[in-house]
Amino acid sequence: MDETVAEYIRRTVLKMPRDEIKMMLQKWGFLSEAQLQTLNFHQQKDNISQEVVQLCEVNPLNSYFFLDNHIYQNKRMWSVYQMKKSGEEEEYFDIADFKKKFKGRIRSALKNVTITFKEYEDNAIWIRVAWGTPHKKPNQYKPSYVVYHSQTPYVFISASVLKSNLPLLCQALIVASNYRDIREMELRSHSLNSLKDIVFKRYSQNFQTYSPKPVQGWNVEAENADRRIVHENRSVKERIHRLNQESFGCGPQPKLEFAQYRLDTMFKSDPKMDVLDKKEPFRCLVKFSSPHLLESLKSLAPLGMADAPLSPLLTCITHKARNYFKIREKKESFVSP
């Protein structure tokens, strides 16, 4: 086994919290259950990692590179890219062909790269690329991750710090998947699954449908069976709830951490106040941050902190699949770049 690879495995195991090592190795799936049984997890981490390296050397496979995937799962920032078809319909997706073309395109530009693929049961293809230079071996500690679902135009990329390799990565993707063009969408989050939910339309939207089961009316009384509490403004509360449901649907929201609005609009104020004597657009950046932005937006109106319905600029996030906006002056509606 290559020295750098052995070192990479050793260092990655050392980074894992002690009580999670076993679980992460299992998730990694590279070592067999039998091999995991032989490991002594009660010794020093140094020794554990040495033993893991020794076991890996015995394995004929070489997909050990996905080991670091499970450590940083939720710390990585994912961007969504959309590809455009050349017009022809592709009949079926051939994964062997995809891999070959992808590797070929990258290797034709850069010799020192490590490319590993892993397929998961939900039809997700994970690609891990460790980048080197003509003179240096690939840096295993700053890989780029790409997630692609066959027969969809969406690619999820967690680029490493080395942004200069992004154009090559994008090119390789369109070549491999037979698309014509690729562009970055204005949608980013730490939660890969939430990004998938948004672009794959898996989140709950509010469609008017007939369902055989009776729709669960939001009953104020059911919520609080204590008869001593009287709910004033019940009709107002129900109206707010209904409007909120129309905007956000009834299910859990995809997990986004922020929404950013870059404003380039005229400041509207009483002329007498004379805030800006220049008739120029007012430029500023408004950023909403939250551990779970959409859920907190959803709770604004019921908590009385905002009027229902909320501004369409906030409620359109999932529908338009974006959380970065540029708002320019154009009548009342906003223009997206």
Contacting residues toward another protein, per CB under 8 A: 89, 91-95, 119, 123, 149-154, 199-202, 205, 207-210, 212, 319
Q: Please, are residues 95 and 119 in contact by the beta-carbon 8 Å criterion?
A: yes
**141 vs 200 by CB, closer to another protein:** 200
**96 vs 273 by CB, closer to another protein:** 96
**132 vs 249 by CB, closer to another protein:** 249
Please report how close the Cβ of residue 62 comes to another protein at its closest, in angstroms.
19
Which tokens belong to 98? 């995809």
**89 vs 277 by CB, closer to another protein:** 89
Please report how close the Cβ of residue 157 comes to another protein at its closest, in angstroms.
17
**105 vs 149 by CB, closer to another protein:** 149
Please report how close the Cβ of residue 106 comes to another protein at its closest, in angstroms.
22
**46 vs 181 by CB, closer to another protein:** 181
Please report how close the Cβ of residue 199 comes to another protein at its closest, in angstroms.
7
**Mapped to the 3 state alphabet, what secondary structure does the chain carry?**
CCHHHHHHHHHHHHHCCHHHHHHHHHHHCCCCHHHHHCCCCCCCHHHHHHHHHHHHHHCCCCCHHHHHHCCCCCCCCEEEEEEEECCCCCCCCCHHHHHHHHHHHHHHHCCCEEEEEEECCCCEEEEEEEECCCCCCCCCCCCEEEEEECCCCEEEEECCCCHHHHHHHHHHHHHHHCEEEEEEEEEEECCHHHHHHHHCCCCCCCCCCCCCCCCCCCCHHHHCCCCCCCCCCHHHHHHHHHHHHHHHCCCCCCCCCEEEEEEEECCCCCHHHCCCCCCCCEEEEEEEECCCHHHHHHHHCCCCCCCCCCCHHHHCHHHHCCCEEEEECECECCCCC
Torsion of CA 263, 269, 274, 275, to 10 degrees: -30
What's the CA gap between 324 and 259, in Å, rounded? Answer: 6
Please report how close the Cβ of residue 206 comes to another protein at its closest, in angstroms.
9
Please report how close the Cβ of residue 210 comes to another protein at its closest, in angstroms.
5
User: CA 196: distance to chain centroid?
Assistant: 7
**29 vs 167 by CB, closer to another protein:** 29
Please report how close the Cβ of residue 224 comes to another protein at its closest, in angstroms.
31
Q: Please, are residues 182 and 155 in contact by the beta-carbon 8 Å criterion?
A: yes
What's the CA gap between 327 and 323, in Å, rounded? Answer: 12
**107 vs 202 by CB, closer to another protein:** 202
**140 vs 196 by CB, closer to another protein:** 196
Please report how close the Cβ of residue 194 comes to another protein at its closest, in angstroms.
16
Please report how close the Cβ of residue 241 comes to another protein at its closest, in angstroms.
17
